[in-house]
Structure 1
Amino acid sequence: MASGSNRTKEQRRQDRSRRMVIVLCTLSLVLLGQGLLSGPSPAQEDKAVQEIKAVVKKIQARYEQTKDLQADFAQKTRVEGFATPITSSGRLFLKRPGRLRWDYVEPNREEIYVNQDDVKMYVPEHSQVLIGKLTQMAASQAPLQLLQGIGKIDEEFNVAPAPNHARGAGGLPLVVLTPKTKDQQAARPFQQIVLEADPKTHYIKSLTLHELSGNVATFEFSSVKPNTGLQDGLFDFTAPAGTEVVRAPSFRAP
């Protein structure tokens, strides 16, 4: 009985850690990416690709002007083999350079803190905090580089229109990002990201993450507030007395 309980507890730790890596990779690779896209001249591209690249440039330009940001999020995850999706919601906070806080509020409280390469995930329900290094957990330097503002989306991803040139509710074309090489795919727990931008602000309105496992997680962002002067203390975490400290596992693709 004890060994079964230990396996269950360890599995919960791994599930939370893997979710944390997915969230961090997604935000760092997309929301905080730097550098405009390069590639063939417009004359060598069809109109759909030109339109997609124009949207991505506007997204990047918007985030390059953003020193800090806060927003609400709603997450829906379709798990392979299960009919009912898992839903959750909360609030996120970003601050350049390299600070992130991601709070799950419903259905259970969890708090994720990132300061450069240091990651902490606090789970009050279990009086537990997972700690680790972003580069070790993601098996790549890319998330840290992009959190620090030195990465480029065009160096990490192929950018393409969605199948059938699908568009979001606001009318802009959906953007599909896929890792450029198999090595990059192996370094991340996802195979592609689909973005929808707000047509008025060009902040990301929704983000759909297709994991290698077959799971699909969709994040909807709302109440986006940029450049409000978030204080550094918002991103600091001190574990309450009696909190168990657990080293988060490193993930490597098989």
Structure 2
Amino acid sequence: MIMNYNENQKRCFCRGRIILSVLVFLGILSWGSGSLQAAEPLSLSALISRMQVAYERTRDLKASFIQEVSLKSMGRAEREEGILYLKNPKRMLWDYHKPQMKKLVVNPQKAWLYVPEDHVVYVQNADQIFKSKMAVRFLSGMGKLQEDFSIRFAASGAVDKEGNYQLTLVPKRPGLGTDQLNLTVDKKSYQIIEGSFTDTYGNETRIQFRNIRVNNRLSDSLFNFRVPTGVEVFNMP
């Protein structure tokens, strides 16, 4: 399919926003690992401390995900499923399987968004991604995150009906791309099993994580990408 310049720009802009969204969740999910357990519900400070310890123990991670995005400007919702691979530092692969195949690959040098159906790859320098203040805070774990966000239990209660912790993160100052982040934390493993937020454009993103496995000895080669023959490349600023 041949697309004109405006159509390309529109697609690129839309997918660029999704890239930023999932980068936030890269940091969120990488907090969660470890086997620390508490017999009774924790205080907020104790929960944050245990999440930070779990983050520091995580070398890599694999999980299945369901990502739901409501695009306000386009008046539609998108649901996608796949497998997420993470490795510290700054490596991730979002391998989408449904409803169509695509890959988002990031390493310390480059980021690639490959859409086989459209025969295109969107490429961006990693330093443009990681200069995001929010992304850097998330990648540093809960300790650094408290410098930019007020963290509290959700208004609906500290735990949900299954006993998992519910957190609300509110920016202390404007410019971080969202007014509020909502997280659900597993009551035993302290893994983030769900997160949601609304960006400055009014787009709502919700991601659920399942079958989380940590410290799998993932190879660095998993986070490299070779552009297939015949695929058009768009360089993002």
Q: TM-score by structure 1 length?
A: 0.78
Q: By how many angstroms is 1:243 displaced? A: 1.7
1:31 maps to 29
Please tell me whether residue 244 in structure 1 is matched to residue 232 in structure 2.
Answer: yes
On the 8 A contact 2:52/2:143 being kept in 1, the answer is: no
- 1:109 equivalent to 2:121? Answer no
CA distance in 2: counterparts of 1:197 and 1:97, whole angstroms: 23
Aligned to 1:9: 8
How many pairs does the alignment contain?
A: 228
Residue 171 of structure 1 corresponds to: 163
Shift, 1:101, TM fit? 0.9
Q: CA deviation at 1:59?
A: 2.1
Unmatched segments (≥5 aa) in structure 2 = 33-40
Alignment of 1:28-177 (within 5 A): 28=27, 30-32=28-30, 51-80=43-72, 85-137=77-129, 140-144=132-136, 147=139, 152-165=144-157, 167-177=159-169
More helix by share: 1
5+ unaligned residues in a row in structure 1: which ranges? 35-47, 250-254
Q: Distance in 2 between matches of 1:140 and 1:134?
A: 10
Question: What SS does the aligned partner of 2:162 have?
Answer: coil
Aligned-residue sequence identity (percent) comes to 29
User: How big is the alpha-carbon RMSD for the aligned residues of Structure 1 and Structure 2?
Assistant: 2.9
Structure 2 vs 1, CA of residues 122 and 169 (structure 1 numbering), >3 Å: closer, same or farther?
A: farther
Q: CA offset at residue 194 of structure 1?
A: 0.7
* 1:174 Cα deviation after fit: 0.9
CA distance in 2, matches of 1:148, 1:120: 23
Larger proportion of strand: 2
Contact 1:127–1:244 at 8 Å: present in 2 too? yes
